[in-house]
Amino acid sequence: MKAAKISHLPLLPQLFRSLSGWRSGLLSACTLAIVLWSALQANGVPIGTKFTPTNPRLGETLVLDLSTTKGGTTTATPPTVKVGSKTYPVFSLGGERFRALIPTTPLEKPGNREVTISNNTGTTTLNIPVADRKFPIQRINFAPGKVGIQATALELKQVAALKATVSPMKLWDGKFIAPNQGRTSSPYGVKRYYNGKFATNYYHRGLDYAGGYGSAVVAPAAGKVVLVGYEKKGFRVHGNVVGVDHGQGLVSIFIHLSKITVEEGQMLAAGDRIGAIGSTGSSTGPHLHWGLYVNGVAVDPVQWRSTAIE
């Protein structure tokens, strides 16, 4: 029996038709992608968006740098940045470049942060993963004379005003420096028991430095003194305290000082002396507490000391 001949010639027109359809579909898809990309740029949706750090953890500051366009040209109109229902200040870095600082805390859950960026002609959404982080636990015992000290209305009001400070000009430059040469005795984010009782919804909102009594406390970065408070004038918990505005929603607070050498309104450079370590207010012994706040939220100062956020 002769083997049957199989001719492929009748299949060629069908193959060409299939290839033609595939090519047409590919061209249509490419055209659609180009149209969508053009529309994104023409609608002014923020582009060039970058987050640092690249692998953020709880307690760190999310730094959002972005630029905007409108009709193919750059625009100096700042966009709106929101996480959930909260809107964050956006500041110009010059030209079409902008920045927003988004704080995170140890009290939050790890996972994605949905960030919405918009202007009057477009909106885009980013999902930024924030990793979990382990924080140590400390047990603090106050002497009988300092147990149950309550803050006065005066200090609560003035410290709250400090933390809420958002001024437009960026005053800091590069990495922050240590405000004292002593060792770090208590890191940021620590959970605590006070006299045997666990403090719920609490985390240590700064760094403690165990420098000797009277050792120098200096400004970790340039800024303006916006708060000077004294224990004898009602700052029962904070003790002698200094608050410094570094600009654009970033402020420092220094508490438990034995001496203050600055005045409100004074401009400081990094390294300028602001006072000395003490044990005023609610303190178990001589040390400096340095708190760093971003848009009213206490963040880890270590990030700002290890990375230059220009």
Whether residues 201 and 283 fall in one domain = yes
- Tell me the backbone φ, ψ of residue 152, rounded to 5 degrees: -85, 160
Dist CA 111 CA 73 (whole Å): 35
Q: Which residue in 166, 56, 61 sits closest to 104, CA to CA?
A: 61
What's the CATH code of the domain at 302? 2.70.70.10
In a domain, 35, yes or no: no
Whether residues 125 and 149 fall in one domain = no
Q: What is the span of the domain harbouring residue 98?
A: 47-130
In a domain, 1, yes or no: no
Structure tokens at 278: 């003490």
In a domain, 124, yes or no: yes
The pLDDT value given to residue 202? 86
Whether residues 53 and 78 fall in one domain = yes
Residue 247's alpha-carbon distances to 46, 101, 209, 215, 222, in angstroms, are 24, 12, 24, 27, 9
Task: Determine the 3-state secondary structure of 274 from DSSP.
Answer: strand
Whether residues 295 and 152 fall in one domain = yes
Whether residues 110 and 219 fall in one domain = no
The pLDDT value given to residue 284? 85
In a domain, 154, yes or no: yes
Ramachandran assignment for 202, one of left (phi > 0), alpha (psi -120 to 50 degrees), beta (any other): beta
pLDDT tens per residue across all 310 residues of the chain? 333 333 333 333 343 344 344 444 433 333 333 332 323 333 444 456 888 999 999 999 999 998 876 555 555 678 899 999 999 999 998 878 899 999 999 999 999 999 999 877 678 888 999 999 999 888 887 766 655 688 999 999 999 999 999 999 999 999 999 999 999 999 999 998 877 787 888 899 999 999 999 999 999 999 999 999 999 999 999 999 999 999 999 999 999 999 999 999 999 999 999 999 999 999 889 999 999 999 999 999 999 999 999 8
Total of domains in the chain: 2
